[in-house]
Structure 1
């Protein structure tokens, strides 16, 4: 077979293999972080966070209408699997093209050993990218990074096609395709724009000899082209719209068309190519018109409301996030950032230790050396991949420069600009809300190319050193080496990363959103904290039309005037507007407000009557009679130069509570921190994944529960797909949020066991009220938690494990406490007694609860002796009495 046929067959096979892998491990619905937002805005053609991704949204809308899967989220996820598979295929083609270029021979004239070496090494490069940690992560969820990686690879491949065709007639079409793809990529993510310098380098190496003059020309030309695209087109066109409306665009289009006609008529080939390219970039960029047009339609998700030229410019310019200077590196005045900055001796130390090492080199190590574990903050572990991918990649980089330094420089430019240079530009603060490895996939793509070149170079060197003359010997060496590399590099990467990135069966984000929304009364207002307790809820409301009556108020967005105005004036999906005591003008200009501690009073007669009626119907005795007025003290949430201030979000919470309570139920998501509750933390009742604002006070909101209501929510309404299935792999974010469920079950069991002989009236499966004995309910709750959330899979606070043990003992089911005893014993084995003596004390208490008195005495004696505290033994004996 000819090279062309073999090449195409291998490329197609690689695409199919990657696609099957990604489909097998793809999330079956939405995932956490931005995925819910992107799916929801794609389905409704809404406006996501700045600067938006209009091309991705348009593709998402298209894919959402094609019935590949019943779940809309899965349909949009398919974009990422297809884009990633195509990127894997292009990585193979690009790596092979580089090998052909430095071999300087016709592939159809290659011997069998040379074909195995070149094709096999290129396959290894492609699979190294396919199985790498961050690339795989992006491939199985609805995010923009997989599509952005495809554009980066496509631009690189198209430029190499031009390099092959020049100076044949029509070669300019490849350049124009490159520019159009760059224009399109702007509508997905600006990361692809960084490939522009590598593109310019390929052009210069083809057209000019390397001289000081040509180098200067490259630097000026590539920088000028980048500025032209980024500053003039991307940032300048919105300014043009702002100052001249659509007439400016018409004039610009006419100028470009006239320029094309003039340069063509005058045979100015280079200038004509440049002007056509600019027009194609602008055409690709016009996908952003969707943002401006849809914002004026007022979709339910309309972040920043970029419906005017001024707002549209602000949206594209990311004004909401403020400026991030390149220097100093420790630039943020936020107290939390200042605390971490103090741990570094200088800006340079901060840059090298945190920004470069922790936030980039560590990620590079994850891909090609090995990731320690899947938890946040994981380090690099050489024992996972034995460092083989990294060593071959490093050797490949050196070999690429030795065998063809020009193309080696091209890959180096791509590697640095999408890696270390991006680190410099982003100037990230410490701490970050999540790992940022997904941002550097372009750099990992470049390194994967070098892995393939490293394998091919090893074969070349071995054949030369062994002086193998016979073709059969060379072929045997090539087959053996490629097979070994496939197993030791790609096989090891697949083995290490498969379970970590297998999201099949993971419905935690969907269930989390369902459970949180179902925690709320009809027409409730729910305050949420960040991405993971907001975007999944948006998905359920906008895509699946579930509980659209609940108004979700994101506290981060509540710092912005446009968002508060939308809450006040819009009714998405028929939901009620949110009342404010402030006018639109005041909301638009909301800012930090000076405040001393102030006592707030709100009429609460309606809420108090409802609490009393609810308790009588369910057979619950309230700790105190709910007051007619709800009172609390609101304190400053931030301090500056000795003065207290309210953040805009705090003022918004105050306005919403005082203007809507008690007419509407108000909730705080379980994930909201207490400093965002404006002093209401004692007026909260635990209703599941949300705290409800109630007029009566309690010392701890976790201890203030309505057991009948919470029982109905946890066992009758909430969903827990696959939580009890050990075959399903849950990533770190899902596991961390699932850890919120165990305390709910245990808190409910405690409340029920407080009066075990009494009965409660709860809602049954038929919807009718039924009487149940509290002790039986408590036991049912504990048993359900043990099955759904076994401690060996979902670690819980040791104190809670001890509580479960004591509860089972009180309810006469000591044997069911054994898994929790085993859990505590496992913790004790890996804990230093002097570091955490309380853990040992809890184990002793758990032993005593189930009647293992000798074991309890043994642990306490050890504790007393090691800590030199003889009274511990005496106190423990007194507790027995």
Structure 2
């Protein structure tokens, strides 16, 4: 595969076009001559290797070549520069980074820091700086001035990692970003303290003990992140809601009441939406028992049996617990990781099959008879196990008729202004991949440029943004590649203390200052050009905590955006207060805003977290499922931050709802969040329309929400806009309808409180925060109920008081005001 790749593609960066092909052919010819000479020489010697060994060796090499040849597809595809080209692995170095998963960083395995470890410091002059271990160089391609220029690499940076002062063997609690999560999972870490000199300041550092470290490894990494998944497949599963140690989410169960109740609390008192969850599967441990029978039968079935046992066991171990050891996972994973261990479950399934053989063998020996009736009877009885499994898991494997992900992706694209080549910033997988699918496969919204903020911190993704894609022109980024390549401008410090010095320089030497930093020192374009991209790396700072963009008012008028205020401001002010540094994706986001000049609409998906807003939240206007970035300060008195007319048009005429009307549709947790987002948006839209005096349109939106997102598939509750729906109906004078929504919301929270209050003392202590959340929700429901119907409000208040008493009687405490 390697030789073929060289013959077809040539040596990377050694010539172009036919030169590459010819260089590859020359290498093949030289290798052929060398092998021919070697073979002739070996013919004179007596062969010490048998034909069988040669054949086996050649077959092994052939299999390796076939396997590794699949990587050629990655390079060939990437060389074509498609719109989606993750990591852009089109040369030897980027392919190496792609295959070694460099973007995910390194985790210590045998020796390394704990989560509280401090970086070792070294004195340099009058300062202390962190000790950094420099690794292998990072290469990048040199950008050619002309096509005839020879291709070459250059070193842009070196891989590096901090050296820590405190380390331990087999560090399982290693991530400083998850310190609180480690402490929470362990119920507190006692640890031990070690002295540490922090640049002349003696402090004590708390390190977990080796016993605590091993306890976390066994309780979380092995038990929770492997054996729980294992038991899902061979004992039973509580539901498909991602769990983080709660008694009601994602645990393994058996289906045998007294066992499950002893482990997790009375399962009959779970809220209805969890009891009716399609991911609730019970196998009564039958597959587990069958597998254990097969395991022990194979292990004790003579010499041949134990040999076969070790083959299956190592397959089971290497695709299961060995992966646990290697991944060294942290708490609060973004999703369940059961898929990582599928090979291990397949291996155990072999033992399940052997369990049937074992039962036949044991019965034949016990009865001392060899008849066909015994295997037939055992097979029929054993067949009940997979039948039980199929009957339980069919409903949560049936995706037929479900188009939520597909339609929500289209709804994001439909929310954006048409015909203007808009740009939308996304952040996570769930608000990016559905959009990519619709563009790539369905050809929908191809004039939109989807820009993922997580990827925007990498040079390969910025390269892609600078190229046209589908029907979308390139994103307005003016930086040369050298200014954003890997290792350059990864982050830039915000130093507002330099602001006064810059002002003083402009007062004393205005002409020289203007030549060096531009006419307007704190204009965003000038900051990015003269400071962030300065040739002197010492100048790579932002000398202010407030920058601004000069507004082209004519461009704003032509943009088609809603005028949030009566007048267009002269400047758009962007506050950087509270930020110590801006990372590359932050800088790119600002660059796109600065260069777009309002000629292309720029949006942020409504599911992007506020920590990624770059303090632009005060300039957002909601249009459907996206926030439009505007030059207006939309949180000012009298300003508008919701384009109700455009959102109404999108919701009523352009949005799709994933066939949610189909009864019995399987909606997992991820898709349910999208349903919540849709209903919440429609409830907010209805209230906004009522504020604008458009009651008839508000009623149509409420009716569409009821029709397209029915309660029997998406239960009404606070988090998906149920209370807002009730408030809207109250404002429209339909109080009976409002009370129906309030009742459903209150019942939903009541069921969860009843569940928490039924738990054992240990589980209840871990659920007090969840109890408080439900109290806050009930308070919000009660306030709307009091406006809708005084008697209903009083009734809910009485029920809340009763829950308060029961909660405090169990030892629960309300937070201090």
Pairwise TM-score range, normalised by the shorter structure: 0.5 to 0.7
Q: How far did 1:304 drift?
A: 2.4
The equivalent residue for 2:124 is: none
The whole-number CA distance in structure 2 between the counterparts of 1:249 and 1:348 is 53
The equivalent residue for 1:512 is: 408
Deviations 1:573-616 (A, max 9, x none): 24211122422110113312211462121133448853997659
The equivalent residue for 2:704 is: 784
Q: How does 1:416-431 map to 2 (within 5 A)?
A: 416-431=317-332
Stretch of structure 1 that moved more, 419-428 or 370-379: 419-428
The whole-number CA distance in structure 1 between the counterparts of 2:715 and 2:67 is 49
The equivalent residue for 1:50 is: none
The equivalent residue for 2:195 is: none
The equivalent residue for 2:576 is: 634
The equivalent residue for 2:85 is: 302
Q: 1:591 aligns with which of 463, 483, 490?
A: 490
Question: In structure 2, do the counterparts of structure 1 residues 608 and 794 end up closer, same or farther at CA, with 3 Å as the change threshold?
Answer: farther
Structure 2 contact 83–464 (Cα < 8 Å) conserved: no
Structure 1 contact 824–843 (Cα < 8 Å) conserved: yes
- Structure with greater proportional strand content: 2
Report SS of the residue matched to 1:685.
strand
The equivalent residue for 1:717 is: 654
The equivalent residue for 2:230 is: 364
Structure 1 contact 596–636 (Cα < 8 Å) conserved: no
The equivalent residue for 2:396 is: 500
Q: How far did 1:274 drift?
A: 0.6
Report SS of the residue matched to 2:394.
helix
1:658 aligns with 2:594: yes
Structure 2 contact 316–348 (Cα < 8 Å) conserved: yes
The equivalent residue for 1:212 is: none
Deviations 1:257-314 (A, max 9, x none): 9989979995532134213421342144223222223322222222222223333333
Q: How does 1:341-740 map to 2 (within 5 A)?
A: 341-342=182-183, 343-344=185-186, 345=208, 346-377=212-243, 378-383=250-255, 384-403=282-301, 404-465=305-366, 467=367, 469=369, 471=371, 475=373, 477-487=374-384, 489-521=385-417, 522-568=420-466, 570-588=467-485, 589-596=488-495, 598-606=545-553, 609-610=556-557, 622=564, 625-635=567-577, 637=579, 644-699=580-635, 704-740=641-677
The equivalent residue for 2:517 is: none
Query: Higher relative contact order by CA 8 Å / sep ≥ 6: 1 or 2?
Result: 1
Report SS of the residue matched to 2:490.
coil
Q: 1:319 aligns with which of 88, 94, 102?
A: 102
Report SS of the residue matched to 1:573.
coil
The whole-number CA distance in structure 1 between the counterparts of 2:95 and 2:433 is 23
Question: In structure 2, do the counterparts of structure 1 residues 737 and 803 end up closer, same or farther at CA, with 3 Å as the change threshold?
Answer: closer
Stretch of structure 1 that moved more, 817-826 or 709-718: 817-826
Q: How far did 1:549 drift?
A: 1.5
The equivalent residue for 2:512 is: none
Q: How far did 1:251 drift?
A: 6.3
The equivalent residue for 1:816 is: 737
The equivalent residue for 1:226 is: none
1:806 aligns with 2:727: yes
Question: In structure 2, do the counterparts of structure 1 residues 635 and 566 end up closer, same or farther at CA, with 3 Å as the change threshold?
Answer: farther
- Equivalences, count: 604
Deviations 1:15-51 (A, max 9, x none): xxxxxxxxxxxxxxxxxxxxxxxxxxxxxxxxxxxxx
1:273 aligns with 2:56: yes
The equivalent residue for 1:153 is: none
The equivalent residue for 1:83 is: none
Q: How far did 1:509 drift?
A: 1.6
Q: How does 1:150-161 map to 2 (within 5 A)?
A: none
Deviations 1:648-678 (A, max 9, x none): 2111111111121412111111121111111
Question: In structure 2, do the counterparts of structure 1 residues 251 and 439 end up closer, same or farther at CA, with 3 Å as the change threshold?
Answer: farther
Structure 2 contact 665–713 (Cα < 8 Å) conserved: no
The whole-number CA distance in structure 2 between the counterparts of 1:783 and 1:399 is 62
The whole-number CA distance in structure 2 between the counterparts of 1:439 and 1:725 is 32
The whole-number CA distance in structure 2 between the counterparts of 1:260 and 1:455 is 54
Question: In structure 2, do the counterparts of structure 1 residues 298 and 254 end up closer, same or farther at CA, with 3 Å as the change threshold?
Answer: farther
Deviations 1:387-426 (A, max 9, x none): 1101111121111111111101110011001111111122
Q: How does 1:12-23 map to 2 (within 5 A)?
A: none
Q: How does 1:99-138 map to 2 (within 5 A)?
A: none
Q: How far did 1:795 drift?
A: 4.2
Stretch of structure 1 that moved more, 672-681 or 727-736: 727-736
The whole-number CA distance in structure 2 between the counterparts of 1:784 and 1:289 is 50
Deviations 1:107-141 (A, max 9, x none): xxxxxxxxxxxxxxxxxxxxxxxxxxxxxxxxxxx
Question: In structure 2, do the counterparts of structure 1 residues 845 and 790 end up closer, same or farther at CA, with 3 Å as the change threshold?
Answer: farther
The whole-number CA distance in structure 2 between the counterparts of 1:826 and 1:560 is 48
Structure 1 contact 499–729 (Cα < 8 Å) conserved: yes
Report SS of the residue matched to 1:382.
coil
The whole-number CA distance in structure 2 between the counterparts of 1:460 and 1:409 is 21
Report SS of the residue matched to 1:691.
strand
Deviations 1:769-824 (A, max 9, x none): xxxxx111111111111222234532455274233223212213334335423312
Structure 1 contact 606–662 (Cα < 8 Å) conserved: no
Question: In structure 2, do the counterparts of structure 1 residues 841 and 571 end up closer, same or farther at CA, with 3 Å as the change threshold?
Answer: closer
The whole-number CA distance in structure 2 between the counterparts of 1:730 and 1:674 is 27
Report SS of the residue matched to 2:572.
strand
The whole-number CA distance in structure 2 between the counterparts of 1:516 and 1:482 is 52
Q: 1:837 aligns with which of 762, 770, 775?
A: 775
The whole-number CA distance in structure 2 between the counterparts of 1:707 and 1:294 is 43
The whole-number CA distance in structure 2 between the counterparts of 1:278 and 1:498 is 42
- Structure with greater proportional helix content: 1
The whole-number CA distance in structure 2 between the counterparts of 1:322 and 1:863 is 48
Task: State TM-score, norm by structure 2.
Answer: 0.67
